[in-house]
A and B are shown apart, each in its own frame.
Chain A
Amino acid sequence: MQPGLAEVMKNVLDIDSVSADDSMKTIPSWDSLRHLNLIMALEEHFGVNFEPEEMPELNSVRALSEAIAKHSTESEIKER
């Protein structure tokens, strides 16, 4: 899990702790509406852009972490 991911999740989902195994199933405040705010907050925090196709799929901490890693590399390559 990237440093910052847990922080953003705690802030946006209004929860006190996050573990690597958490998902929409384990966090009640992580509903489909709040999900989009979370996605936007992560884009803002990490400076990445997610594809609309993948947005609904990013429903676990693991999926989010992998997507952030993937897009961070992309934006680094673009910058070079």
Chain B
Amino acid sequence: MSALDEIFAELDEKPTLSQYGAAERKLRHLPADLQPFRLAVLANHTLDIGTVLAVECARRGLRLISYVAGYDQYRQELLDPNAGMSRFGPDVVFISLHLEHSEFAVGPSTCGFTQNLPAARTCVEKLGALLSAYRKASPTPILLQNFVPPAADMDSLLSIPDCSSVFDWVAELNLALRQMASSVPEVYVIDAARLAARHNLAEWSDHRLWFLAKVGISPKKFPLLASEVARSCAALRRPGAKCLVLDLDNTIWSGVLGDVGPEGIQCTDESYPGNAYAAFQRALLALRSRGILLAVASKNDVALVDEAFSRRTDMVLRKEHITDWEVHWEPKPESLKRIAARLNIGLDSMVFLDDNPAEVALVRMALPSVRALQMPPRPEEFVEFLGRLPDFDQLRLSAEDMRRPELYELRKKQADMAQAGTDLETFYRSLKTVLTPERANGSNFDRTIQLIQKTNQFNLTTRRHDKSELMKRLDQGSELWAFRARDVHGDHGIIAVALLDFAGGSCRIDTLVMSCRVIGRTLETAILHFLEQRAGARKSVRMLGEYFPTAKNEPCRDFYERHSYVCTEKNDRGTSWSRSLESGMTANPEWIEIEEEVTTVCNRV
């Protein structure tokens, strides 16, 4: 057990405020490998949550550096570019607002009905305008806590026409808040209402502290709120898991298939425990619809598993929902490695679930980067268990993410076709690929940043530019291009991004990344052809590029060499390449059609 784990084990035995203080003191002196993370805390109530937040952030690999704004200073901090928060320079802003503050005027005086309360939409509109104003000045993500209904004045029975209870009104407020949050970029809701309801709403606020010092949330509840905030911070920092690998027997159905046969396994709604497994399978499908790939690693007879999936048409999960299979009697770590290789994903983006503790232990030992977890002892707990796994937290969910399972299905079909014995060029032609370059704009910017941040394999320079850097470069005259691809099998969405700098007659490829899903179909050649055309249009006479090797970007090592660029420099970091455009350009492969740039109305980001 590491020193860090020991601190948390001790804390979790007795998670009191005093122990949080002790843990924070220990953490501060621990030379642990934590990523610095700057969080600004804004509130319209007294919220001294820094200590607990620091501990919960450390639990998720972040070393918290916090800025706590003065009481009720949140508007000034958001609007004033010279306020303390801007000087602090946060990675994320957390905003916690309390309803009983005078600006909302909800409290014991409202006596449980909403006659004198402002319309929910009006309250949220004001807040929305504030956040939009901040967004114009800064791209920093915001975590916005939603409103917790006051527990105190809910007890009277009332029936007044045209009046709803404060409880209902807060629900309406929170619904409007969520809609507003989704309309302002990079605003994410911290669902404190759900948290408070789940953990004794009556104790969420301590009336003594509220009336004494406007403390809106009882410090005894800080650990709950801090965990949620820290979890969101971690989710903003790290990409979520991409693939969930499942065992079969007693994990997705009840019973051992080899013993009871396809008709004997239980996983339908008729009775317990089958209905609990059916519910779990529905939860798995929900994950899949959010873009998580489902795969199976089971020690079973492959023919029998096939039969179970084809005969049990009453089962929620269908064969086509599973992206990859490893069904045999070999060790599961081998199965997981093969799945990762075939799906072209890292082991660190896989989660493995099994009911057998020995299998889980083996995977943990052999493949420490896979998150291997044992199923809870009882099937009725499965759905909640899955919901609580932070591995599948996704705050930024792009349309491409959601389509991932479908796209992998496409790729599989293509691989099957390519294997069917046709020569490569015939295969390329059969795909009828269309490449559409687009200037980065409001609608594709999230995906553009995501590709720059996440692409490892086809990434020439691995420069992880963030939004503000990209905006700066655009202002300086650089061009940022996103490339869409579609073919006979469907639309792949945005699959590549390039950033071009122009100076002194040269066009420099600062960044070129391409999704691993489309490696090996000459799209990179078509993209390079397009980029050289752009260079020509901007009167550049030569192209410049670099390749910086990393542990993962071998697939693009020979990119410039393959396209007849000349190596001009070689040093510890990598190689530099050049090509004169006066002696001709890279030819576009005949089998790829490049669509004209669609001029969009909103070319600005």
Given A33-B48, A36-B46, A55-B208, CB of A12 within 8 Å of CB of B21: yes
**Residues in A neighbouring B218, C-beta threshold 8 A:** 40
Residue tally, chain A, CB below 8 Å to B: 22
In the assembly, what is the distance between CA of A10 and CA of B19, in Å?
Answer: 10
Query: A14 is contacted by which of B19, B25, B209, B219 (Cβ under 8 Å)?
Result: B25
Interface of A is mostly: helix
**Residues in A neighbouring B51, C-beta threshold 8 A:** 12, 14, 37
A37 pairs with B16, CB closer than 8 A: no
**Residues in A neighbouring B212, C-beta threshold 8 A:** 36, 52, 55-56
**Residues in A neighbouring B18, C-beta threshold 8 A:** 7-8, 11-12, 41, 44-45
B213 pairs with A36, CB closer than 8 A: yes
**Residues in A neighbouring B24, C-beta threshold 8 A:** 14
In the assembly, what is the distance between CA of A67 and CA of B360, in Å?
Answer: 52
The answer to whether A70 has its CB under 8 Å from any CB of chain B is: no
A44 pairs with B208, CB closer than 8 A: no
**Residues in B neighbouring A43, C-beta threshold 8 A:** 220
What's the least CB distance linking A28 to chain B, in Å?
16
**Residues in A neighbouring B213, C-beta threshold 8 A:** 32, 36
CB-CB nearest in chain A for B19: A11
Contact flags A29-60 to B (C-beta < 8 A → 1, else 0) = 00011101100110111000011100110000
What's the least CB distance linking B35 to chain A, in Å?
23
B46 pairs with A14, CB closer than 8 A: no
Chain B positions 208-225 with a Cβ under 8 Å from a chain A Cβ:
208-209, 211-213, 215, 218-220
Given A36-B48, A37-B48, A44-B220, CB of A12 within 8 Å of CB of B209: no
Query: A37 is contacted by which of B17, B22, B25, B211 (Cβ under 8 Å)?
Result: B17
CB-CB nearest in chain B for A12: B21
Residue tally, chain B, CB below 8 Å to A: 22
Query: B48 is contacted by which of A8, A34, A50 (Cβ under 8 Å)?
Result: A34
**Residues in B neighbouring A40, C-beta threshold 8 A:** 17, 206, 209, 218-220
Given A34-B48, A36-B48, CB of A41 within 8 Å of CB of B211: no
Query: B16 is contacted by which of A10, A14, A36, A41 (Cβ under 8 Å)?
Result: A41
A36 pairs with B219, CB closer than 8 A: yes
CB-CB nearest in chain A for B221: A40
CB-CB nearest in chain A for B68: A33
Query: A44 is contacted by which of B16, B22, B209, B215 (Cβ under 8 Å)?
Result: B16
**Residues in B neighbouring A12, C-beta threshold 8 A:** 17-18, 21, 51
What's the least CB distance linking A30 to chain B, in Å?
13
What's the least CB distance linking A46 to chain B, in Å?
10
Contact flags B23-67 to A (C-beta < 8 A → 1, else 0) = 011000000000000000000001010010000000000000000
Candidate in B24, B206, B208 with the most chain A CB atoms within 10 angstroms: B208
Chain B positions 420-457 with a Cβ under 8 Å from a chain A Cβ:
none
CB-CB nearest in chain A for B17: A41
Query: B17 is contacted by which of A14, A44, A50 (Cβ under 8 Å)?
Result: A44
**Residues in B neighbouring A41, C-beta threshold 8 A:** 16-18, 21, 219
Candidate in B46, B209, B219 with the most chain A CB atoms within 10 angstroms: B219
**Residues in B neighbouring A44, C-beta threshold 8 A:** 16-18, 220
A11 pairs with B208, CB closer than 8 A: no
A33 pairs with B46, CB closer than 8 A: yes
In the assembly, what is the distance between CA of A40 and CA of B21, in Å?
Answer: 12
**Residues in B neighbouring A11, C-beta threshold 8 A:** 18-22, 25
**Residues in B neighbouring A50, C-beta threshold 8 A:** 208
**Residues in B neighbouring A51, C-beta threshold 8 A:** 208
In the assembly, what is the distance between CA of A13 and CA of B218, in Å?
Answer: 18
Taking A12-B18, A14-B25, A40-B219 as known contacts, 10 extra A-B pairs with beta carbons closer than 8 A to each other, sorted by chain A number, are: A8-B18, A14-B24, A33-B48, A36-B209, A40-B218, A41-B17, A44-B18, A45-B16, A50-B208, A56-B212
Pairs across A and B, CB under 8 Å, 9 listed: A7-B18, A11-B18, A11-B19, A12-B21, A36-B212, A37-B17, A37-B219, A40-B218, A44-B18
